[in-house]
Amino acid sequence: MFITFEGGEGSGKTTIIENLYQNLLKKGYQVLKTREPGGSRISEEIRNIILNVNNLEMDYRTEALLYAASRRQHLVEVIVPALKAGKVVLCDRYLDSSLAYQGVARGLGIKEVYQINQYATEGILPNLTFYIDLKPEIGLSRIKHSERIPDRLDLEKGNFHDTVREGYLQIAKMFPERIKVIDGNRPVEVIEQEIMAVIVETI
């Protein structure tokens, strides 16, 4: 069972995944929690290149290819072995991040970005994806009040994040079976309960 979580900046994804992870372990499932970009040594190195605030001249296609390369390495090294071992895999971001950020917000095209990712993943898609939907101004104000140091993508202006959200909503319509849109403007416990119910029903 391969489950991914998507959302804009400050959507609460990371907290939600951690709590779901603990909850599933308590229920006796074997679970792997991981994240993109990163999650393996080489992928983390690629992540540092992508998110480095000094790399402002990075070309958008380079960015898309680096995310796909990082995804590939993490997939073969971490995700596929865990799935083969029968684990439930919870992954913070996957292919849909590239479709929304590079495909829509960077304007490279959903189809084009899907194609390079098809090559990178050999068509491995999640069984379930939760997109935690939140207005960017709410998400970004949460980040501002946290300790987190902004990365290269956090520095993009408000309009970029609005387009990311529009992208996600568009992609969710393209894959209605796989992607569940979750209202992120509610207490985390309520969101977790809703997601947990879907997971338990599907496992």
Interacting residues toward ligand TYD by CB under 6 A:
9, 13-14, 36-37, 51, 67, 92-93, 97-98, 101-102, 151, 153
Q: How far is the CB of 46 from ligand TYD (least distance, A)?
A: 11
Q: Which is nearer to ligand TYD, 14 or 193 (CB)?
A: 14
CA-closest candidate to residue 100, choices 120, 114, 88, 89: 114
In order of 35, 108, 116, the CA distances from 98 in angstroms are 14, 10, 10
Closer residue to ligand TYD (CB): 30 or 109? 109
Residues in the chain: 203
Distance (Å, rounded) from C-alpha 30 to C-alpha 134? Answer: 30
CA 68 to chain centre: 13
Shortest CB 119 distance to ligand TYD, Å: 14
Please identify, using beta-carbon distances, which residue of 92 and 192 lies nearer to ligand TYD.
Answer: 92
For ligand TYD, the closer of residues 49 and 80 by Cβ is 49
What is the smallest separation between the CB atom of 71 and ligand TYD, expressed in angstroms? 7
In angstroms, what is the minimal distance from the CB of 9 to ligand TYD? 5
Nearer to ligand TYD, 29 or 114 (CB): 114
Q: Which residue is nearest to ligand TYD (CB)?
A: 101
Kindly state the smallest distance separating residue 141's Cβ from ligand TYD, in Å: 14
What is the SS3 assignment for 117-139? Answer: HHHHHCCCCCCEEEEEECCHHHH
Q: At what angle do helices 158-174 and 110-121 cross, to 10 degrees?
A: 70
